[in-house]
Amino acid sequence: MSAGASNPEYVNARVRSRRAKLFADEDYRKLIRMGPSGIARFMEESEYEREINELGTRFSGVDLIEYTLNRNLAKHFQDLLDWSQGRLYDYIARYLRKFDVWNLKTIIRGIYTETDPDEIRTDLIMAGELDEPTIDRLLEVDEIEDAVTVLDGTIYAEPLGAAYEEFEETGALVPLENALDREFYEHLLEDIGRPNLQEPQQGPRARYVEFLRAEIDFRNARNALRLARSGADLDPASYYIEGGVLFDRTELRTLVNDYDALVDHIAENKRYGDRLAGALDQLRDADSLIQFEHALDAALLEYADTLSSIYPVSISAVLSYILAKEREVENIRAIARGREVGLDENEIEQELVIL
Amino acid sequence: MSEIDLLNAVLQNGTVEESPFLTDAGAAALAVGLSTLAAGYAERGIGAAAIGAIAEDDDLFAQGLIMTVLPETMVILALVVVFIVS
């Protein structure tokens, strides 16, 4: 825990101002009709100007857009950490560990496929807790086992060490990545309260917990649906993340085998059923899991927005900004990649998360 | 000697010579002081938010300044008490 009082007013004012500068839905419609160079030009006139100019000499086309997005994202999230103090800092830092997990996954995949360290580096988003020297050392190692040793002393060392044995047996990266995800989500709710145990019932803190639970639930739902769809013979319980309210471990195990029951289970839940009604209908008759995942993203985003207007001066606004920014980055990336491979406008629009 | 006088004599048990703990002027000063403290506390949050907003957008300087000093009205209202008392 960092010392000192937190300063939610300051952080909120800045975050809300930046939130207002994000691209609007009309902007995406404009972007869909542009080619990669058009998108880059559009971004140059927006708040991505500095990154485009810095990277413009080295890259071009879709790569330029991609690296610009990553760098801009890292800049903004690093700013969040710079501004905030006290408890607010702890909460934000905890949530931004998401990018540590992302970076570690990227590095592990890179080591696995023996990719050049410089190439791995361009895909990293330096917005998490791990510092540069650690990342540098991680990039230098040749074996995944050494990478786990480098992480010694961080929260990831232990779960990765355990998962490594499984990795050695099966040769699949899934256990390692899963261990990272679970470590992240289980740390999110640390010190704030476990279900039914000293959990704050009211006030911003309760909302924060509620939001995190929603995120964990959605993650569980997504994993379960993916498993149900793939029909793979994997133990769903090993993908289960503690802390959600939608499923418990045993429920998940039975539900994964029955796709329709799984969808019904989500629809019956009074917390999310109404909110996801549209998406669930689609899920029932369509084959597209992507649509549903985007609906989950949109629902989570909307949820975060609602929370941030219930408690104006709390962490909720920051979380909602983080989600909104991520969505923007993902949307622009989807448009740029979609244009590159020649998808038509409707197809790209389906890939976007639009509220 | 009436009963009231007797009662006073018993209750006070002699004459009072020192001044009261809180005079009118002292109470008024306390009112101003407390409301100033409250205004300061309120301005802390607003000021922090205003600086945050100005850092993102310079044009907000005037609005930020006005919003920040709004709680000062509390102190002005408390000053009224001073004039009523004196």
CB of B52 less than 8 A from some CB of A? yes
Inter-residue contact A310 to A210 (CB < 8 Å) = no
A212-254 pLDDT, tens digit each: 887 888 787 777 777 777 666 666 666 677 777 777 777 777 7
CB of A13 less than 8 A from some CB of B? yes
Contact A17 B53 (CB under 8 A): yes
CA of residue A180 relative to chain centroid, distance: 13
Compute the average pLDDT of residues A132-143. 81
**String of DSSP letters for A109-133:** HHHHTT--HHHHHHT----SSS-HH
Contact B57 A14 (CB under 8 A): no
Task: Place B61 in a pLDDT band, splitting at 50, 70 and 90.
Answer: very high
Class of domain A87-183: mainly alpha
Average pLDDT score over chain A:
78
ipTM of model: 0.70
- Planar angle of CA A157, A213, A186, nearest 5 degrees: 15
A244-301 pLDDT, tens digit each: 777 777 777 777 666 677 777 777 776 776 766 766 676 666 566 777 777 777 777 8
B68-79 pLDDT, tens digit each: 999 999 999 998
Question: With the C-alpha atoms ordered A222, A228, A234, A238, is the resulting torsion angle positive or negative?
Answer: positive
A87-183 and A189-313 have identical folds:
yes
**Which residues of A are less than 8 Å from B46 in CB distance?**
9
Any idea where the domains of chain A sit in the sequence? Answer: 27-83+315-355, 87-183, 189-313
Select from A7, A11, A12, A14 the residue whose CB has the most chain B CBs within 10 Å, as the one to mutate to test that interface.
A14
User: What tokens appear for A8 in the block?
Assistant: 């939610």
> So what's the architecture of A27-83+315-355 in CATH?
Orthogonal Bundle (1.10)
CATH of domain A189-313: 1.20.1690.10
List beta partners, residue A194: A197
